[in-house]
Chain A
Amino acid sequence: MSGETLPCILSFEDVTFGFEDEPVLRNVTFSLRQGETLIVHGAAGSGKTVLLKIALGLLRASRGTVRVFGRDVTGLREHDWFDVRSRIGVLFQEGGLFDSLSIEDNVAYPLLNQPLLAAPQAEIDQRVRESLDFVELGHTLDKLPSELSGGMRRRVGIARAIVTQPALLLYDSPTAGLDPITANTIMALILKGRDVQRASTMIVTHRHQDGEILERYRYDEASAALRPAGAKGSPSFTRYMVLDQGRIAFIGSPAEFDLCADPLVARFASR
């Protein structure tokens, strides 16, 4: 099945957000298909986080149409968003972990609070443990977020994002403020989460290395290791988007991204 024929998980059609005199997003149109990875680059204030928040229903588009899982969610009421969000996993830039809850309770939070994901307590406990083991933090169940390092908190955030086995994963600057080694660990976990769960992924990042990892590698479950994309199994299904002052300056395949002559786009490519 080619990318074009796969079901559309998320689409923005001519979306504008903000006040008339100072829009944060302007006429943004793109789509994210099943299993696809969209890497969003852009300078600070270019509208990347706003894009994610609109996709998640935390902000409402001023104009245009947003569809999630094929459903028009543009004018959806807050209460109705909860069902849509139960199929979306998200990692916020600041982590968004609840200070007053233990790591176990933080990861269990979506399973305990989303009616569509209700499950017996024993199953919730098991999924929380599996999810924390996935990010290699199974030993931190009883700790509070303040007792963990920045990188560990991001990993808990990833565990919380994937615990519901969502069809769509949204990551907001997952490596911001981390040292390169920890950042690569985080990216490897994101890659693993994407490929194990076969989720569509939209990731906002400043680092071109983050995009390269997602574009060039796949997680091989059989060997439990990262492999170059295309070497084994299907090739990576990745696109790049560059935002500039709320507009899409570029959207296209990795090859187009590497060859794009626009200096603004070139800043985010690894040339």
Chain B
Amino acid sequence: MLDILKAPVLTFQEFIGLSARAMSGVVRKPYYWDDVFVQMDLIGVGSLPVVILTGFFSGAVMALQMSRALQTYGATSQVGQIVAITLVREMGPVLTALMVAGRNSSGMASELGSMKVTEQIDAMRALGTDPVMKLVKPRLIATAFVLPLLTVLADFLGLVGGWIVACSMLALTTGSQYWNTAWRALEYNDIAQGLLKPFVFAIVLSLVGCFYGMRASGGTQGVGRATTQAVVVASVWVVVLTFVIGRVFVTM
């Protein structure tokens, strides 16, 4: 039994070690700002198309599906409220994080994994650079800055998607009704939750991607394995953490 647990416990311990070094590195020199901006471009600008499409259609689908249930109670006019709450609290942060996990955690794992198996990370250490400061920290800072912005964009576009469906397909809802109910439904608690989640997700996504990349071994097969593990683990962490954060806010 203990032997089965040894490997995951060791992996988690190593992950915590890397996370601690990266997080403490955020307030220590050196800063590689060029790398931070390159990563912001890769993660932020690069993820725009997928985040725009996901946000827009998730709002549209939600309005479409919810309208059926609301019709039963004659409350189709409240569709804006439901779309707003669901998107801002849960769907926006989670879907955006999952998209970024699929696109960027995998990218980080494969890039760093390739560097690891070709001894570039060893070379970096041998030539006077701490790979955590040079590779992990810029990705952590960039993701923590960009993911909340992407989430806000996805939330907004989701509301637009819901509005278009509400106005064009649900006869009982007008545009002003939709926006009015959506706006009034949101509380500060929802906004705080909707911004805290992507920030926490960003930390986890970037650290998981970098962690699996930096421990890749076994040539190109090892890089592939690291990439898959990074996406799976990052995605699982996103859904677990959204529950934990949601639970904390519900009790507040």
Contact = CB atoms under 8 A, between A and B. Distances in A.
A194 B127 CA distance: 19
Interface residues of A, number: 27
B123 A98 contact: yes
A41 B233 CA distance: 41
A113 B129 contact: yes
B174 interface: no
A115 to B, nearest CB: 8
Contacts of B130: 78-79
A88 B126 contact: yes
Interface of A: 53, 56-58, 78-79, 81-82, 85-86, 88, 90, 92-99, 109-110, 113-115, 117, 160
Instruction: Name the prevailing secondary structure of the A interface residues.
Output: mixed
Contact of A85 (B114, B115, B126): B126
Contacts, number: 56
Contacts of A86: 128
A191 B86 CA distance: 69
Interface of B: 114-115, 117-120, 122-130
A109 B124 CA distance: 9
B122 A82 contact: no
The 5 closest A-B pairs by CB, nearest first: A96-B123, A114-B128, A113-B128, A96-B119, A92-B119
B126 A56 contact: yes
Contact of B127 (A85, A94, A115): A85
B15 to A, nearest CB: 18
B128 A53 contact: no
Contact of A99 (B117, B120, B125): B120
Instruction: Name the prevailing secondary structure of the B interface residues.
Output: helix
Contacts of B118: 94-96, 99
A98 B115 CA distance: 8
Nearest to B130: A78
Contacts of A92: 119, 122-123, 126
Contacts of A90: 123, 126
Nearest to B132: A78
Given A85-B127, A109-B127, A110-B128, 10 more contacts: A58-B126, A79-B130, A86-B128, A90-B123, A92-B122, A94-B118, A95-B118, A96-B122, A98-B123, A114-B127
B103 to A, nearest CB: 19
Contact of A58 (B115, B117, B122): B122
Contacts of B124: 98
Most A CB contacts (10 A, CB to CB) among B115, B118, B123, B125 go to B123
19 contacts: A58-B126, A78-B125, A79-B130, A81-B125, A85-B125, A85-B128, A86-B128, A92-B119, A94-B117, A94-B119, A96-B119, A96-B122, A97-B120, A98-B120, A99-B115, A110-B127, A113-B128, A114-B128, A115-B128
Contacts of A53: 122
A203 B126 CA distance: 16
Contacts of A96: 118-120, 122-123, 126
Contacts of A109: 127, 129
B120 A58 contact: no
A93 B126 contact: no
A57 B125 CA distance: 9
A79 B117 CA distance: 23
A79 B120 CA distance: 18
A54 B146 CA distance: 39
Contacts of B117: 94
B223 to A, nearest CB: 13
B129 to A, nearest CB: 5
Contacts of A98: 120, 123-124
A121 to B, nearest CB: 17
A156 to B, nearest CB: 12
A115 B130 CA distance: 13
Most B CB contacts (10 A, CB to CB) among A82, A88, A96, A113 go to A96
A113 B128 CA distance: 6
Nearest to B121: A96
Contacts of B120: 96-99
A55 B216 CA distance: 22
Contacts of B128: 82, 85-86, 110, 113-115, 117
Contacts of A114: 127-128
